[in-house]
Amino acid sequence: MAEIMLELRSVSKTFNPGTVNEKKAIDRVSLNVRRGDFITIIGGNGAGKSTLINAITGVFQIDEGEIILDGADITGLPEHKRAKHFGRVFQDPMLGTAPNMAIEENLALAYRRGKRHSLRWGITSRERAFYREQLRQLELGLEERMTQKVGLLSGGQRQALTLLMATLIRPDVLLLDEHTAALDPKTAEKVLKITEELVRKDNLTTLMVTHNMKNAIEYGNRLIMMNDGRIILDIDGEEKKKLTVEMLLEKFSRVSGSEFTSDRALLS
């Protein structure tokens, strides 16, 4: 049981190298995530937040650096082989679930995350009872709709379901990439509340990208700000607890030498 759950050592990724569209999306990023850390990540559009999450989960291979998970080097592992360690929720509610399959079938897939897919039956009745119990905790009434297709659910319901799927078997790290950005404010708040409950219940190590500064300050024990492919702020512990939006803006302009102009949405 290493104290450090996830370690990034000078990780870089350039998209479309050697073309006019060349873009260094993350640039020598190093980060130590301690076991049980709940880190919020903010930064303007194109700062490299999603790229960082995708590098960790192995959506693409990184150009340089190492990714160490719980003491093991996972840098070269393909995405599907790392999946058992990570729970993921995407910004787009469409991406986290299979719309043509029933709620319970989606959960059954998540329950088998990282296991071999055999010719045994895809879902057992014992599991169903477990899923019903888990769905009840979301307080969305989904436990009564387990055989319905996920395609019938609203964006918020889907994100809540995806959250449940991400945590159904305990992930080493939970990765949330602006998972409330596509939702209306009220639903977003509800999904955030569910998020916090799930994280707290199992004391999950969590990285949560958000476009909302208030949320970034309110949630978690540590805050990271990214700009232009780099981590420019890492605020931890007591300092994080006392943080306000004004302080954050002031820190940003001091570190980056510019005003925080990229988008007003960050303040909302």
Partner 1 sequence: MLDTLLAGVCQGLIWAVLALGVYISFRILDFADLTCEGCITLGASISALLIWKELNPFLSVLVAFLAGSIAGTVTGLLNTKLKIPPILSGILTMISLYSINIHIMSLATGTGGTANLSLLTFRGNTAYAQVASLLGLGRVYSSLIFGVVVVLAVSGVLYWFFGTELGCAIRATGANATMCRSQGINTDLTKLCGLALSNGLIATSGALLCQYQNYADVNMGVGSIIIGLASIIIGETLFMKFQNFYMKLTGVILGAVIYRVVVAFVIYSGMPSTDLKIMTAGIVTVALALPTIQKSIASSRLFKKARRRENGRREGGGENG
- φ, ψ at 179 (rounded to 5°): -75, -5
Of 260, 223, 230, 252, nearest to 10 (Cα)?
230
Pick from Mg ion, ligand ADP, partner 1, none: which does 113 bind, CB < 5 to 8 A by kind?
Answer: partner 1
The whole-angstrom separation of Cα 113 and Cα 151 is 21
Pick from ligand ADP, partner 1, Mg ion, none: which does 126 bind, CB < 5 to 8 A by kind?
Answer: none
Determine the longest span between alpha carbons in the chain, in angstroms: 59
Give the distance, in angstroms, between the CA of residue 204 and the centroid of all CA atoms in the same chain: 12
The whole-angstrom separation of Cα 127 and Cα 145 is 15
Could you say whether residue 200 binds partner 1 (CB under 8 A)? Answer: no
Pick from ligand ADP, Mg ion, partner 1, none: which does 132 bind, CB < 5 to 8 A by kind?
Answer: none
Q: Which of 33, 38, 39, 50 binds Mg ion (CB under 5 A)?
A: 50
Interacting residues with ligand ADP (CB under 6 A): 15-16, 23, 25, 43, 45-51
Could you say whether residue 97 binds partner 1 (CB under 8 A)? Answer: yes
Residue closer to Mg ion (CB basis): 26 or 108: 26
The whole-angstrom separation of Cα 177 and Cα 174 is 10
By CB under 8 A, what part of segment 139-158 binds partner 1? 149
Tell the smallest beta-carbon distance from residue 45 to ligand ADP (Å): 5
- φ, ψ at 155 (rounded to 5°): -55, -45
Q: For residue 267, count other CB atoms closer than 10 A to its CB.
A: 12
Residue closer to ligand ADP (CB basis): 49 or 82: 49
Could you say whether residue 57 binds partner 1 (CB under 8 A)? Answer: yes
Tell the smallest beta-carbon distance from residue 30 to ligand ADP (Å): 17
Span from 7-15, 49-57, 95-103, 233-241 in contact with Mg ion (CB under 5 A): 49-57
Burial code of 66-99, b = ≥16 C-beta within 10 A, e = fewer?
Answer: ebbbbeeebbebeeeebbebbbbbbbebeebbee
Q: For residue 128, what is the enclosing H or E element?
A: helix 125-136
Pick from ligand ADP, partner 1, Mg ion, none: which does 94 bind, CB < 5 to 8 A by kind?
Answer: partner 1
Binding site for Mg ion (CB under 5 A): 50
Binding site for partner 1 (CB under 8 A): 57, 59, 78-81, 83-84, 86, 88, 90, 94-101, 105-106, 108-110, 112-115, 117-123, 149, 165
